[in-house]
A and B are shown apart, each in its own frame.
Chain A
Amino acid sequence: MTPIEIEITALKKEVINMWILVQSQLNKSKEAMVRFDKDLAREVLIKEKRVNAFELKIDRDCEDVLALHCPVAVDLRFLLAALKINTNLERIGDIAASIAAYVVDSSVNFDVAALESTSLLRMYDEAVNIVTDTRTAFEKEDTVLARSMFKRDEVLDDINENAPVAIAALIKEEPNIIHEALFMLSIFRKLERVGDHSKNIAEEIIFYVEAKVLKHLESSKKKLEGEE
């Protein structure tokens, strides 16, 4: 391997490690929410610092490779994509931490039946799966899988769009859980953002592998663009 290939392989590994940590943060926040496990939620908050440290390290490593190796073509695209993926992953990490923070601060636990009836759990599972699959797309440079994220993000958008109706019904049925219900609504919004960040990441994977820019394209064009 050439020196730049060695650097890029190491950097890719680092991004994947950050990804695994962010996935674990999301999963643990969900578990903490469902089981009302404050210790687990506190663990997520502590590990958030590690996510931030990953972000700083990857930024610095990208800067070093840019300065020392003057990358071009696919190497340059990889580094530009890695910088943006890094930012998006850190924000997904922030979302996991903000859900955990609520569990830590809250005095009442969630009603699991309500989490299910409002489709919040389904949305959470789908958001976690999307994060996992974008990681696979990145690892395997699989742009078909990356493209499938655009469609799957729409599933999250649909659930999020229907959330106010579901939450309103919940409050009407049981007005004393209004705080809990409003927090659930904010989780819908946060998970919708996880979908957006994953979509951004999918765009970066396609840019890195195929040199195609799909940003700001209409969703229907995005799905078709560059497909064989």
Chain B
Amino acid sequence: MENTVVSAEHINAYYGDNHAIKDVNIKINRNEVIAMMGPSGCGKTTFLRCINRMHELIPNARAEGVMKLDGEDVYKMNVIYVRYKIGMVFQRPNPFPNLSIYENVIAGYLLNGIKISKSDKDFIVEKSLTSAALWNEVKDSLHKKGTFLSGGQQQRLCIARAIAMEPEVILFDEPTSALDPISTSSVEALFHELKAKYTLIIVTHNMQQAARVSDKTAFFYVGELVEFDDTKTMFTSPKDTRTQNYITGRFS
């Protein structure tokens, strides 16, 4: 129990009348990499967005059930605090185009009006960029705009931006789908490093990526969590026929 960082209890999510997530229960342990896979529209991204309460930002969307972070209901917590603790990285790298690399990393502090000293800022920027395996590549151009970086570098900058807030959990929504294989490989290598400090939950369409980077894999289908098990088990001997059909490409 102590090791559980995120737990979902009977989570149901809706877009108007559309029941997108159906009674999902899951427990995610600290310092694990979790992959979420399933066909388009199966609810994996919706579920991800329920974890840090981004689902409720969509008009007519609502979520029911209990989502806990360290045993505390995130729907009863301050939403800003929830997003400090649960960072998110999106499909397309989205550094703030008008901010420098340096400012992008500490954007969470700047945009929330949190005042920190110059030395603290320098420390956070270096530490976050180092953790995101980007420091050596950008340390001499910290004050250039983030958008000058390559796609892979921009995505790692977004990861640094999430890390800067010292989250416990980082959510990734198809983080490498817009990247070339070399950038994908550098981001995947980073997952391995980040896992020592954070819990990573990754939505991916790339099954081989799920197999390569995750400790556990969840398979969603039409809003249901069909199977959640060790990645090795999921990819060698899944229990549910739907999982097997999906991962072997036999889904009709």
Chain A residues within CB distance 8 Å of chain B: 2, 4-5, 70-77, 211
Contacts and interface: CB of A to CB of B under 8 A. Distances in A.
Interface stretch (B54-62, B108-116, B147-155, B241-249): B241-249
A77 B237 contact: yes
Most chain B beta carbons < 10 A, residue from A4, A5, A211? A211
B237 A75 contact: no
A72 B250 CA distance: 12
**Chain A interface secondary structure, helix, strand, loop or mixed?**
helix
Interface residues of B, number: 13
A62 B114 CA distance: 59
A4 B208 contact: no
B249 A74 contact: no
A211 B250 contact: no
B208 A74 contact: no
Interface in B57-83: none
Given A2-B250, A5-B250, A75-B248, A211 B236 contact: yes
Contacts of A71: 248
Interface of B: 207-208, 211, 235-238, 243-244, 247-250
Contacts of A72: 207, 211, 235-236, 247-248
Most chain B beta carbons < 10 A, residue from A4, A72, A77? A72
Contacts of A73: 235-238, 243-244, 247-248
Contacts of A211: 236-237
A76 B211 CA distance: 13
A4 B247 CA distance: 12
A2 B250 CA distance: 7
B249 A4 contact: yes
Nearest to B245: A73
Contacts of B235: 72-73, 76
A211 B247 CA distance: 16
A74 B247 CA distance: 10
7 contacts: A2-B248, A4-B248, A70-B208, A71-B248, A73-B238, A74-B244, A76-B235
Most chain B beta carbons < 10 A, residue from A71, A74, A75, A77? A74
B218 to A, nearest CB: 16
A117 to B, nearest CB: 49
A77 B236 contact: yes
B115 to A, nearest CB: 51
A215 B224 CA distance: 36
A39 B224 CA distance: 66
B206 to A, nearest CB: 11
A4 B245 CA distance: 12
Contacts of B244: 73-74
B249 to A, nearest CB: 5
Most chain A beta carbons < 10 A, residue from B208, B243, B248? B248
Contacts of A76: 235-236
Contacts of A2: 248-250
A29 B238 CA distance: 43
Most chain B beta carbons < 10 A, residue from A73, A75, A77? A73
Most chain A beta carbons < 10 A, residue from B207, B236, B237? B237
Contacts of B243: 73
Given A70-B208, A72-B236, A73-B236, 19 more contacts: A2-B249, A2-B250, A5-B250, A71-B248, A72-B211, A72-B247, A73-B235, A73-B237, A73-B238, A73-B243, A74-B244, A74-B248, A75-B248, A76-B235, A76-B236, A77-B236, A77-B237, A211-B236, A211-B237
